[in-house]
Structures are given as C-alpha cells and as structure tokens.
Amino acid sequence: MNVLFLALGGSRRHVIVAEAEHVLAAGGAATVLVGDPARWRNDPLPEGADMVEWRRLVRGHRPAVMRLLLDRVPLFLIRACLRGPLTGYGARLQAFHRRRVSRPIHHRLLRFYQRDPARVRSRVARRELLGGRSIDIVVVGDAESAVTASELRDVVLGSGARLAYTAAHAGPADAQARPVAGLLGGGKP
C-alpha cells in the first residue's frame, strides 16, 4: 500500500511518523507532504519515507510549453552543437542561459503562471505527487491539510487513490462517493 500523508500544518507530527512507520513495516511506501520542513526537525521521518515540500512544488510550477521553449530546447541545442573538446564551453553557456535568460523570463512571467492558484495546485498535485507515484491512499494528517485535500479531492479520486483520515482505518473504495444532499435518517426538516 502506497500512502501520501498530507501534513501541511505539522501539528500532528508524531501521529504521522507513527503511521508512516506502520505503512513501511507492512511493506508499503510512505510520502509525507509538508508545508514547512523546519517543523519536522525534531520529529524525523522513519528510514524509507519521503518528505516533499508543498511550497517548493507550487513555487516551481511552470507550464510545459514554457519549460520546453525556455529550458529544454535551448539546452538540448547547446549540448548537441558543443560536443567533444567544446564541452567545457557548452557547460558555461548552459549556466549562462539558465542564469541570464531562462530564470529572469520565468521570474517575470510568474504572475501569469500562477494567476489561478487552485488550478496550479491541482496541476502540481497531478504531475508531481500522483503522476510519478502509484498512490493508493491519501491521508489527511491535520486541520490545515483538510482545506488542501478538499481542493484536490477530484484530482485524488481521478487518479484512483482514496481519501482517509488514517492509514489504518481506510475504508473501502466505494465509501468515497459524495453524500446525497438532503436529510439523513428520514427526519423532518
């Protein structure tokens, strides 16, 4: 079982560490999504668990077209044209391109990239967290993570993962259906 723990607030660190140990002991993989890694300095994750910083993922988001045009194509051309004895010159030219061309353009376009923050967060979660890993359960670890989990609910369920509050008591997959609007239990309005 591969589990992604949402622990953005870091208020329940000891519980997340204990559940991650349990998942790793059962032969699964544990990834912890944190808001501030400095809060986890006194409560280290068990060996084999991955820590991913949410702010760094969102801040580093760039649309695929811009990454292709500003980063991948120019650097590929530099590598392809400057081979052999010119490799040292090519490495300096790549560093110059990143520092003086690519980074300033990305910095100026940052507002354009992140004009819809909810959409950016869902893209980042789909590409970085759920796309590269086969996540079975997404565990909401604290109150601050509940807001992010509600924003990413459709992305999580679309990837085949389930939302839960603990990895130990994750219910069946069909329990994730949205509740029906109306009265529960047949009472009067």
Domain boundaries, the chain: 2-60+121-176, 65-113
Rg (CA), the chain: 21
Distance CA 70, CA 97 (A): 9
Q: Which CATH class is domain 2-60+121-176?
A: alpha beta
pLDDT average, residue stretch 155-175: 76
Residue 33 bridge partners (DSSP):
6, 52
Q: What does the pLDDT look like over 40-84, one tens digit per residue? A: 999 899 999 999 999 888 887 888 888 899 999 999 999 999 988
% helix, strand, coil for the chain, step of 5: 55, 10, 35
Q: Which strand (E) or helix (H) includes residue 107?
A: helix 103-108
For the entire predicted model, the pTM comes to 0.71
Q: What is the pLDDT of residue 79?
A: 92
